[in-house]
Amino acid sequence: MKRRPLIAGNWKMHKTVPETLAYIEAFKPLVAGVEDRDIMLAPPFTALDAAQRALEGTNISLGAQNCHWESEGAFTGEISPKMLADIGVTYVIIGHSERRHIFGETNEMIRRKIEAALKFSLSPILCIGETLAEREAGRTFEVLEQQLKEGLEGFSTADLKELVIAYEPVWAIGTGKTATPEQAEEAHAFCRKLLKDMFGEEFANKIRILYGGSVKPENIVGLMARPDIDGALVGGASLKPDVFARIVCFGRTE
């Protein structure tokens, strides 16, 4: 089954508001004619409102890099999905490996964030992936299964129709190392089979599974040629508009 690709840029802790606006002005014309795939940018929280205004009427969606699981309350420094929806955000990245490994987020916390995002009609991008030690110990599938089962526990297929999965091997994020297309496809195929066992074949065939981990213009075509890879969650290479546009436009004739 052919799924519509999604190419998403995660800027992490980069770019001020003026830098964000300059990027968007440079990026918009580079991808203006792209209609056969979805495009998403995830600036830092401080730039989201300005980015939303700059992206209005374009083919580029706005994403956030994280959210809290409550809609409001005494959570100093946190941002709720209610706040994100209020300013026009449509996607939210949840469970990125940096949130898991630097900030100690658990599968249960991530499940609660997905639930909160869905409540406000945000499309969650659930990030999963193994560390180098886990891969070398032969535990890749075990880790992915635990992250998916615990992260999606209690949801129905109706709840998750806007869910996106992003497989990001931790050892490939920001390291310059990329999983080979074969390694990435193996993990994606495993996740799709697991989703089939959990939610049924129809759901598994529709869900988009992105690859993340040192994606570049030089490797995007090989990755996207694989049957179970439906797009990319791009970090460092999304910080330059011309480079990210080349990734977004993979496979298109000039």
Which residues participate in the annotated binding site for substrate?
10-12, 174, 214, 235-236
Residue numbers annotated as active site: 96, 168
* Residue 101 to residues 50, 89, 105, 131, 239, Cα–Cα distance (Å): 30, 25, 7, 10, 23
CA-CA distance, 22 to 31, in Å (whole number)? 15
Q: Can you say how many angstroms the Cα of residue 32 is from the centroid of all Cα atoms in its chain?
A: 21
Residue carrying the six token digits 């249960």: 108
Q: Kindly report the number of other CB atoms within 10 A of residue 180's CB atom.
A: 11
Residue carrying the six token digits 């580029």: 60
CA-CA distance, 200 to 133, in Å (whole number)? 32
Binding positions are 10-12, 174, 214, 235-236
Residues forming a β-bridge with 46? none
Identity of the amino acid at 125:
I
* Residue 28 to residues 1, 12, 51, Cα–Cα distance (Å): 30, 20, 12
Identity of the amino acid at 55:
L
Helices of type H across the chain: 17-31, 48-55, 81-86, 97-101, 107-119, 132-136, 140-151, 181-199, 201-206, 220-224, 241-248
CA-CA distance, 139 to 134, in Å (whole number)? 5
